[in-house]
Chains A and B, each alone.
Chain A
Amino acid sequence: MQRIGVFVCHCGTNIAATVDVKRVAETLLKEPGVVHAEDYQYMCSEAGQKLIGDAIKEKQLTGIVVCSCSPRMHENTFRKAAERYGINPYLVEIANIREQCSWIHKDKEEATEKAIILGRAAVAKVMLNAPLQAGTSPVTKRALVIGGGIAGIQTALDIADAGFEVDIVERTPSIGGRMSQLDKTFPTLDCAACILTPKMVEANAHEKITLFTWSEVEKVGGFVGDFKVDIRKKARYVDMDKCTGCGECQAKCPNKKTPNEFNRGLNNRSAIYTPFAQAIPNVPVIDKNACTYLKTGKCGVCAKICKAGAINYEAQDEIITREYGAIVVATGFDTIKLDKFNEYGYNTNKDVITSLELERLMNAAGPTGGHVVRPSNGEDPKTIVFVQCVGSRDTTCRGKTYCSKICCMYTAKQAMLLKDHYPWLDIHVFYIDVRTPGKNFDEFYRRAVEEYDVDYIKGQVGKVSEAENGRLLVQASDLLDNRQIKMEADLVVLATAIEPNEGVRRIASMLTASIDTNDFLTEAHAKLRPVESPTAGIFLSGVCQGPKDIPETVAQAGAAASKVIGLLSKDHLVTNPCTAKCNQVYCNGCSNCEKVCPYGAISYDEQMVIRFGARETTRVATVNTALCQGCGACTVACPSGAMDLQGFSNRQILAEVDAICR
């Protein structure tokens, strides 16, 4: 005979304000099998858990129902409590009367009735629960970091310093990422290269870190602790062991007509190139879409002049397969395309540039050697207009709904650096709000206004056109003075919204990691698990999770690393026992389950089965419980009812439905 205990949580006022918790407890006490029911303010607290423990001892409970928040929040808490007090943790059921009841209803009467029904369903289910034992699976003590920007580098260094092997996969020819393109960094104005390149060198030299540059993740299989990843090493056409990095090939390459991606198209590069002088590894790649030899078979200049004989036009892409215990996504960001913002004239006027392009112009290693000029004619600008929120905080189809977070600060930085170099410059910044929370951030912005005399105007730019004298005509609002401004400018800088890097969707789907409507990767819990994906073993680092600046990125990179270290330090992981199980007596060998299983956990083989007292050898399904994630797809696909999910058996689900419909 089952003896069930029901525990109803108030969750402060979260549940109690909309649900009559006392009545829920009293009503559920009348359910058959229920021998104990009580309510308490915070069931998840130490005192609440003790209530459960006391009831287990006094009433010899055989099953527990907790009416509280979502099982995603506290199922584990209550399972652990049950285990501590001597009950198998899988004899605990949660009735979610917060997210699925009190939070979404206003009427107390209706909400109470629904809470009772949800509780009744959980009671019906727990009556059929069986004690389950969790198994274990081994952990491969190596981590994969996807993306070699500051987020990926920092995560990799932190993991490697803890003594674990790390591989970094970077799709461009060099690690360094977005940060390597920047000039100086706010709020302390250290030069980006001065603080980044030592980290790049350290990552390259670290005995535990392996770099796969010019490479992409091709395929991901397996699960937490035991991922199998195919990495495509794209053909570099340059032998990494032989190349000395002398740079002669790049200088002599006759084909210099490809827009330089690293300089955001502000100048051109050769077909064989390293993105920048401090690239790591300092080995060029040949752009097969640009190289004359690879396209036509004529030229071969680089091979002729390479003293090391490193050029190999016959190189092919190579796929390597490696095992990992954990994967960190650090794929970073790009600026949005401005095709839909014709009013700013970005595509029609060379002197309208994005802030990232301005970074390249300001950078001493940039296309103009750090001399800021008008791209149209190379002349020095006298008036510069900055436009904030270009595509950010935009709820139309043109832009992004979120604040890109970094623009206010880098605009203040760029304005001050420009004033430092060219004190005669006239600088105007059009803003909607100036948002500078952060240590020493607001002081930084105020310095731009108060010490550098940068003209901040509350209002937006409506139109940028070309004036007859070749300058730019900016039409904008000054909302505080209630006037429309028309001013001439030489350079217009657009603080363009940022978005997750192209290809993040492909990576997310390979990892079965969830992404939001803006393609940012979703964290397991917005506040309490900010660096973990809901998919076990996948961790998030940097802007792929949401807009953030360098200090925040580095902090998050370290946090992700510590989570990875925690995982890799274990020899075994406890696996979820709620896995599928095949009743081979009923299995007809149809393979439906094998086809729908997203984890490749089901296989078929010939087995001896006793059916109706007779022995026969037949083709039946077997579940590999180490691979099974308990999604339940196979139980739905099985036509003969042989496949069942432990902890969520068909009988249990039907009992719940019956209880709801009663």
Chain B
Amino acid sequence: MKTVTADQIREISGVDTRKCMKCGRCSASCPAYDEMDIRPHQFISYVQNGNIEPLMNSKSISKCLSCFACVERCPRNVKPAKVIEAVRVSVLRQRGETILSADEMPELLDENMPQQLLMSAFRKYKK
């Protein structure tokens, strides 16, 4: 898999990683923290250091719930979830797969399931 550059991640996500103050409120808010090998706050510093390959190979990109708690809580508008999403999108694009297509959606609809979950799944599994 071809590693994308930190600049590409910044461009796709629209995130300026320099704004991060390293307070950790993102990881403190993250409900999927225990499942992740690389944590939300680390995503920011990895991108700052130009170290994208471990991010592309991390479990975290599929463990992120896209709940946006980190985006909501960040005092500096850094938006870690957008960075995670940008890495995820980069990986999916290279694989050329669409794991979840729009046609499959009606079958998955369940009135007990929050719509946000479907949206998150779509964000994660569609190219």
Q: Do A and B come from one complex?
A: yes
Q: Is the CB of B73 within 8 A of A482?
A: no
Cα–Cα distance between A399 and B73 once the two chains are bound (Å)? 11
Q: Mark B65-83, 1 if CB is under 8 A from A, else 0.
A: 0000100011111000000
Residues of B within 8 A of A459 (CB): 23-24, 27-28
- CB within 8 Å of B: which A464-480 residues: 475-479
- Residue B22 lies at the interface, judged by CB distance under 8 Å to chain A: yes
CB distance from A343 to the nearest CB of B (A): 6
B29, B34, B42, B77: the one within 8 Å of A462 (CB): B29
**Of all chain A residues, which has the CB nearest B39?**
A482
**Of all chain B residues, which has the CB nearest A463?**
B29
> A398 with B75: in contact, given A479-B41, A482-B39, A484-B34 (CB under 8 Å)?
yes
Residues of A within 8 A of B27 (CB): 459, 462, 477, 479, 484
Residues of A within 8 A of B26 (CB): 462, 477
Q: Is the CB of B28 within 8 A of A463?
A: yes
- Residue B19 lies at the interface, judged by CB distance under 8 Å to chain A: yes
Q: Is the CB of B42 within 8 A of A461?
A: no
CB distance from B17 to the nearest CB of A (A): 14
**Of all chain A residues, which has the CB nearest B69?**
A462
**Of all chain B residues, which has the CB nearest A457?**
B24
- Output the residue of B34, B42, B73 with the most chain A CB within 10 A: B73
- CB within 8 Å of A: which B24-42 residues: 24-30, 33-34, 39, 41-42
Residues of B within 8 A of A296 (CB): none
Q: Is the CB of A394 within 8 A of B75?
A: yes
Q: Is the CB of B39 within 8 A of A462?
A: no
- Residue B105 lies at the interface, judged by CB distance under 8 Å to chain A: no
**Of all chain B residues, which has the CB nearest A479?**
B24
Q: Is the CB of B28 within 8 A of A477?
A: yes
Cα–Cα distance between A461 and B29 once the two chains are bound (Å)? 8
> A482 with B42: in contact, given A389-B75, A399-B75, A460-B28 (CB under 8 Å)?
yes
> A432 with B22: in contact, given A461-B28, A462-B69 (CB under 8 Å)?
yes
Cα–Cα distance between A462 and B68 once the two chains are bound (Å)? 13
Cα–Cα distance between A41 and B14 once the two chains are bound (Å)? 45
CB distance from A344 to the nearest CB of B (A): 10
CB distance from A407 to the nearest CB of B (A): 14
Q: Is the CB of B25 within 8 A of A461?
A: yes
- Residue B21 lies at the interface, judged by CB distance under 8 Å to chain A: yes
CB distance from B110 to the nearest CB of A (A): 27
Q: Is the CB of B25 within 8 A of A462?
A: yes
Cα–Cα distance between A479 and B42 once the two chains are bound (Å)? 9
Q: Is the CB of A477 within 8 A of B41?
A: yes
B19, B22, B24, B29: the one within 8 Å of A395 (CB): B19
Cα–Cα distance between A512 and B31 once the two chains are bound (Å)? 50
CB distance from A427 to the nearest CB of B (A): 18
Q: Is the CB of A343 within 8 A of B22?
A: no
CB distance from B67 to the nearest CB of A (A): 12
Cα–Cα distance between A229 and B36 once the two chains are bound (Å)? 64
- Residue A651 lies at the interface, judged by CB distance under 8 Å to chain B: no
> A389 with B76: in contact, given A460-B28, A462-B28 (CB under 8 Å)?
no
A394, A461, A478, A484: the one within 8 Å of B76 (CB): A394
Cα–Cα distance between A396 and B23 once the two chains are bound (Å)? 15
**Of all chain B residues, which has the CB nearest A398?**
B75
Residues of B within 8 A of A458 (CB): 24
Q: Is the CB of B28 within 8 A of A475?
A: yes
Q: Mark B8-25, 1 if CB is under 8 A from A, else 0.
A: 000000000001011111
CB distance from A403 to the nearest CB of B (A): 11
- CB within 8 Å of A: which B67-122 residues: 69, 73-77
Residues of B within 8 A of A432 (CB): 21-24
- Residue A393 lies at the interface, judged by CB distance under 8 Å to chain B: yes
Q: Is the CB of B75 within 8 A of A479?
A: no
CB distance from A391 to the nearest CB of B (A): 8
Q: Is the CB of A484 within 8 A of B21?
A: no
Residues of B within 8 A of A396 (CB): 74-77
The 10 closest A-B pairs by CB, nearest first: A462-B28, A477-B24, A462-B29, A459-B24, A394-B75, A460-B25, A432-B23, A477-B28, A460-B23, A484-B33
A residues lining the B interface (CB < 8 Å): 343, 389, 393-396, 398-399, 432-433, 458-463, 475-479, 482, 484
14 inter-chain pairs at a CB distance below 8 angstroms, sorted by A residue, are: A343-B29, A343-B73, A394-B75, A395-B75, A459-B27, A459-B28, A460-B28, A462-B30, A462-B69, A475-B28, A476-B24, A479-B27, A479-B41, A484-B28
Q: A343-B73, A463-B28 are in contact. List 16 more A-B contacts (CB 8 A).
A: A393-B21, A394-B76, A395-B77, A396-B75, A432-B21, A432-B22, A432-B24, A459-B27, A460-B23, A460-B25, A462-B28, A462-B30, A462-B73, A475-B28, A479-B22, A484-B27
